[in-house]
Amino acid sequence: MQLITVFTEPSKLFERLKEKPDVLFPMGLFILVSCLVIFFYFSRVDADWMIMQTLSANEDMKPAEIEAAKEHMSGTIMMISGLIGAALGIPVVYFIMAAYYMLAGKVLGSDQRFVAWLSFSLWSSMPQLLSGLVALVGIVSMSPETTLQSLNLTHLSPLLMDLPSNSRWYSLATSVDLLSIWSMGLAAVGLRSWTGSSWTSAIIVAALPSVVIYGIWAVVVAVM
């Protein structure tokens, strides 16, 4: 089964995907797990507490503005928004990743179709699916006053540090999934297989998007 092979024999899987791309199964799996996390989280969290946490995090809002905003928010609305965001946002992210890999692949000498690179981007990201599974386990035992970010136990925060929500580094630290390093390794293996490039080139291409995105983010936070 490809879901096991991606972890045990990634080179073999990428050779198979090169000839027969598989998009629907991994895409559906990512969307399903994300939607399950959102649904079960909002089913257990104290909605009023969560809304106050969300609004209070905006330091520019005055108490009167917070009270006014609460009138138009509910746990159900936030859950529906999250489900729609996951269903629409996940495909967009992987389409962008596929476009990047296709362009990088051409530079490295590969002429694979877009659908092949879409499959490549999905399967190489499979370790990050574990983040969602870990969050689902955490939801079972969480208290009603638990932030969704605190359930991302494979992320920089809270795994290696426990930043308060008012820290300027909070958003960045809770967004960095350490399992993405594993995904970069898989992508490097796949790039070597598909393009015949050196390990150095494959690793640079696999790591470049994360390095650029989080590097710019860190600089912006640092100078604020």
Compute the Cα dihedral for 3, 36, 162, 144 and give only its sign: negative
pLDDT tens digits, one per residue of 36-68: 999 999 999 998 888 877 777 666 666 666 666
pLDDT value at position 215?
Answer: 94
Domain boundaries, the chain: 2-223
The residue among 153, 39, 30, 135 whose CA lies nearest residue 93 is 30
Could you identify the residue written with the tokens 């990634």? 10
User: How is residue 4 written in tokens?
Assistant: 């096991």
User: How is residue 38 written in tokens?
Assistant: 């959102």
pLDDT tens digits, one per residue of 152-191: 999 999 888 888 877 889 889 999 999 999 999 999 999 9
